[in-house]
Structure 1
Amino acid sequence: MTSQIDRMNKLKLLLSKQRDYITAEELACLIETSTKTVYRLVKKINDEFPNGNLVLSEKGRGYKLDYEKYIELDEPAVKQADDISPNQRQDRVMEELLLSSPKALRILDLFGDFYVGDSAISNDEKMISQKIKKFDLKLMRKNRTLAIRGKEENIRHAIAELIQRLNIIDLDEIKSSDEWNFNRYDVLFVSDQLRTIEKQLGGDIPYPYNVNIFSHLYIMISRFRKMNHQISGEKLVVTQLKALDDNPQIRDIAIEIIRNVEAYMSTKLPVSEIYYLYQYLLSSRMKNESDKKQTFSSEVEEITNYFLDEVGKRLKINTKNESIYMDLANHIKPMLNRLENKIRVKNGLLDQIKLTYETIFNFVSDVALEVSEKYRLPKINQDEVGFITLYFARIIETHQLPIQTLIMCTTGVGTSELLKAKVAKKFPELNVIDVIATKNYKKSLEKSPEIELILTTIGIKEALPVNSLVVSAMLTADDQTRIQKKIEDIYNER
């Protein structure tokens, strides 16, 4: 089931990149499956979509996404108990256990609303045990009760990473939406604390770092409320206490926010909460950081340069740019703190990044492994790789050389000149170096070997040695769509 869902998501992402119809055969090749599977996936996508067909089809042309429906697609975060999958049921039970840990909860209370038998419950226990294992947590069963046991720090990390609704929230909508199943008063309070943090730091905390801090504070409040304020917290070691002095401004902000939480909940929180929040703040990035004169540790400088040099070599691009260096270093700096403190920032665009920038993502993944080994860091996860990928995608997008283009028709006059004027206006990415008659194209290619694209108003029977496209001199909307697709193909080939 999971693989089918993955293929469905990949199919939708592939279709979202297409401006025109694409055949089932082409889709099957791209997602490495059969055409019959493509037909089944399209049918299932359309069957599950509530408002007509999400994937349009046309005989002889293939499939196309109804893009307006796609971008408005927003599956409800909370479904009825009789309409949820086993995976969703497991997540809800796991959430309740994590928030209540180490307290044991009755199995009847955990599963009563789902109306499932002992076999399903037993399978859910196995799946939950697997999910929490990587956080060094254990699921304990005793006298028809379940409990998750482990260090408080690990429990917080598991909650932050495993509870999906905390990773997909929109902070602008959460206060007014009833879909998220959040405590409204806690949401308003935590939102106020975020604004306080931003005011003290003198800049906005951008997505997804603001979501991370929101989730951390919301989880902390939920944990203490579930446990009736009985969490004692873990004692800080000497190195952790000393770390609080590394950045007095961040430390004082963390202290202020924790004191505000104590007043809100009428309780006393352990000093470890100050340290946890301090690390989340250090692991975040401010919108105005790039505008300030930054100083970086030698480790940050070395890792930033390593990424720029090694990924640049693989992509064959020039990465010697002060602006790019500063932006990437400003990302690497808090990333190292996230790795050290096991703080994971969910990348909501990860699937699209992997699909859209597959080559760049793979190169960054390879270099990330080298960085982890060379600098003895924890493994850099895919979410982080996705973020770093965007920096190199930006370099390519903003520093692409114009595509050297040749325009030709039967005579080389009139229609070609009209086409040249239209192309120059619509496509600044194309540098039209000449307008010629069809019979002269071989000489032009010999004279200008840098030509990458030929736009012609008449078909050429023999194969051309460069990219070519037959278009109308009127440059219709369909022509423009096909030219844009060809531009993207050439950029990808580079």
Structure 2
Amino acid sequence: MITKRQQNLIQILRKEKSFHKVSELSKILGCSQRTLYSDIETLKQNGFDIISKRGVGIKLVEDGIEDSLIENISLDETVERRIIIIKRIFINEEIITLNKLSEEYLVSQTSIKTDLEVIENVLDDGLGAFLKKDKLGTRLITMPLERKLNLLTKITQFIMSNVVSNQLELTTASYDILGNFYSDSIVKVANNIVYSFFRKNIATIPDVYIDNFFHFFLALLSQLSNDKHIDYQISEIDKSKHAFYIGSATSLLHKASLRLKINYTNEDVQYLSQMLVNYRIEQKSFNFEKNELDTIINKVSEVMGNDFSKDDTLKKQLEAHVSAMLSRLKFGTIVKNPFLEQIKIDFSILFNSIWIAMEHLSEFLEVTFNEDEIAFLTLYFQLSIEKNGNVRRILVVCPTGIVTSELLINRIKKLAPSLDEVEVASIDEFLELDASRYDLILTTTKIETNKANIHHISAFAKNEEISEILHHSLNYSYDDSSSFSNDIPNYVLLNQQFGNKTSLLNSVKHYLTDKKLALEGFVESIKEREKLGSTELPAGVAIPHGKSEYVNESFVIYIQNKRKIKWSEHFVDSIFIIGISSKDMKKTKQVISRIYHLINDEHHLGQLKKATNEEEAVKYLDGKK
């Protein structure tokens, strides 16, 4: 899915057929050259052929490009206008007039008046008018910060509900829209801090409220960044009873202050503590058989090769979570996980392994799982893995802890084993941390130290350099193919010419039945799985899998397609289709690890995509090249 800025870039390149300098385009689009290069790479991954010449610029090759490639992913113009008006009133605190806005947006004053009425209805909090209208114009009334925070939380939910209604996933495009409303730095800091807190304290805030809490925290940081604070507390929170929440609130605000250079007061801490207590609503216990919980834990233990049944804390946490989860799934109640995409990237092997395990249990549990629920489960099991010392901790230190090293952090996450933990910290945060708690610290800023676990690295370091550091510091074995022993056979279909996803899957169905590897229902189960969340990756790869009940003999099919085809949001030309039989469930982690090991190695993946014969492709798939 392309963003509005990327869409505008394509329109410019289509209109003017000659080469364009990136420096000039960045000025037109109002972004940095670095951001523009990132946009160009994203467009290439989405099927656009953009060529570049050193010293000349970039150019779009339109041969074969259909208009359907350029999807209008921006919000409805009316909704977008209303969001901008809300920002001008609530964030910029402007006084707006019907006449001025109608001239700016080239619509009638009646349309602007309707916009304001809709805004008042959507944000109505039952506390009376929040807009003042007089001959000077319309503006926000003076109000306590507590009320404004509640209104901003509703605004964020309004923005995100329109993102979802426009069928945009909660991915980069969604956060771009929030970043335009608040600021990129505030959105990224809020997201990172709440995500880290939720990962470590998953049982603290019920799943159904985590999205709301993120929206509230985002609103709070936006106001603190403008030096606006809570004036007073109606009643001081009980320190002895709620020490954990007071400590958590202090930690959350302290991290934000170091990254955003903002101040916070004792009243701010008290208010955030109270909000954490408010969001800590006891999850209702639903009737469910204890053997359902045991079956889930045992099945995940089987696919991961890790006995989770001995973790009593995990069992206690899952007792409340699983009962609520099964009730939600049985009654069709959808709870969005705001960190879904991060979880899929950070813990890709665990996420996919749990999904396969839960699909195997779907008939027994009488539910159909979705991506959001799988992501919640992933965090519980990941926390158990970390607690039992089965992961290594990596810290990435950069000047602000926000944007500077984002590309570096993402590459480290790809190169490090999926179960390992990668954290980020600003310089100020790092100075307060105990460095001995981390197995490896990578810093983009020079730090005077003689500690062996701290390494200086460029934010633009090559993958080879990162791999070398990980290999020597943590004994990662990137070239040891024996670590991925393979007794699940690979099947290879090279040089295919499928025009779309449907034709590819239909062909796979015939291939599987002809070889008696799977029953006809296998491909249908893939299609149902894809409806619940796409299995594609930005690298031009998709990793679909079907239900084990339809698999006769386990397999991995690699399909090399001559042209990129639209999978869901991205275009792909390499497809790994996974089929694991019930008897081979214990090999799930091994199979998924082997595939991710390959696709995270840009060189080997590139060579696999160019393989000209089956023997050569199988060697890459088996890790022998």
Please give the TM-score of this superposition, normalised by the length of structure 2: 0.32
Q: Flag the structure with larger Rg.
A: 1
